[in-house]
Amino acid sequence: MKKKPTKDFAVDEGAKESPSLIYYQMAGKKRRAHGTWYRGESTNFHPMRDSLAEPDAVAKYVGAGWFPKDAFIDKNSYITAFGSCFAQEVTKYLKQNGYRVFGDDLNLEANIIRSGEGIVNSAAMLQQFQWAFELKRFGDDIWHLEDGEEASSSEEARMNIRRIFDKTDVFVFTLGLSEVWYDKEDGEVFWRAVPNRLFDEKRHGFKVMSVEENRSNLIELFKIIRKFRPEATVIFTLSPVPLAATFRPVSCITANSVSKASLRVAIDEVMREFATDANLFYFPSYEIVTSYLDDAMGVDLRHPRPETVDLIMQAFQNAFLIDG
């Protein structure tokens, strides 16, 4: 289908200006916008298509207001990245570039290493910090590895996680989804779904975590880190990888929109609540994929193409890494 031309709101530099409009520069062109309404002290216009071709487009149009003033993570910093499967890409990239990232090569019995990919919701992330730092106990049947077997809740595993957290300078949390299964008896959330062999309709339930639930989990998680690791840097990011399937009786595409929106709003509310914390950041990997790139996903329309991951990690490197 032939695409019809659309407006880019560009005006000739020498054209007479109208008092009812405001004018601004973007991608080397003078643009116009409606001037009736007061626009506040900070107005960032949505980029035009030609704007995204600028070499610094990611930093200028996606990362503005979120990236640190200067990169600060060096190769002496200990980094712990876990969450959705996209966190695996972050870890892989950092390792390949010589950064100190906790991973499988440590050969430790630690859940965030052995099954970090399964800890994709805000409740599961919080559980690990409550367990490691506050000695909170959870039912043995809510933590499961990828093969459905129970993850270790031994004291050795807890202490290994505590040692990792105590040594971590930078925490990178990649949140994945809001759809969760939970235990009706105590309300605790599973990492993944419930293994077939254990499912009990009377005991196990499904829900979509609300913005407030996600927000509350992230705030408590952040407060625990600040209590026990007050100088550590915390970077939240939202995985661009959509749901593989939804357990709701609606299309997966629409369910994914809700799942991501709940997390994105919750993260934003946390960022605003702790806006004065100099060591708290949001990295917009989700927005880079969904709003900056046109063809970011592979044939399954779920996993980013290798070049997409490279672009995201290059943006992360430019923003945060000193020795990249």
Question: 109 vs 112, 130, 145, 167, CA distance in Å?
Answer: 9, 18, 12, 16
pTM of the model: 0.92
Tell me the β-bridge partners of 81. 172
Q: What is the CA radius of gyration of the chain?
A: 22
Residues of the chain with CATH 3.40.50.1110: 78-320
Residue type, 18: S
Residue type, 132: A
pLDDT in the model for residue 105: 54
How would you list the strands of the sheet with 233-238, edge to edge? 100-101, 78-83, 170-175, 233-238, 280-283
DSSP state letter for 68: -
- CATH number listed for the domain at residues 78-320: 3.40.50.1110
Q: Going residue by residue through the chain, which has 324 residues, state the pLDDT in tens, using 9 for 90 and above.
A: 677 778 878 999 889 999 999 999 999 999 999 889 888 888 899 999 999 999 999 999 999 999 999 999 999 999 998 887 777 888 889 989 999 988 655 545 555 554 455 688 999 999 999 999 999 887 666 666 666 566 667 888 889 889 999 999 999 999 999 999 999 988 989 887 788 888 889 999 999 999 999 999 999 999 999 999 999 999 999 999 999 999 999 999 999 999 999 999 999 999 999 999 999 999 999 999 999 999 999 999 999 999 999 999 999 999 999 976
252-273 vs 211-228: helix crossing angle, rounded to 10:
40
Two tokens, residue 15: 């054209």
Question: 316 vs 90, 303, 310, CA distance in Å?
Answer: 9, 18, 10
One-letter-per-residue 3-state SS of 175-194? ECCCEEEEECCCCCECCCCC
Question: 25 vs 9, 34, 290, CA distance in Å?
Answer: 11, 15, 24
Residue 285's closest CA among 315, 247, 253?
315
Question: 5 vs 8, 113, 294, CA distance in Å?
Answer: 9, 51, 18
Cβ-proximal residues to 83 (8 Å cutoff; 6+ apart), any chain: 116, 119, 120, 125, 172, 173, 174, 175, 176, 239
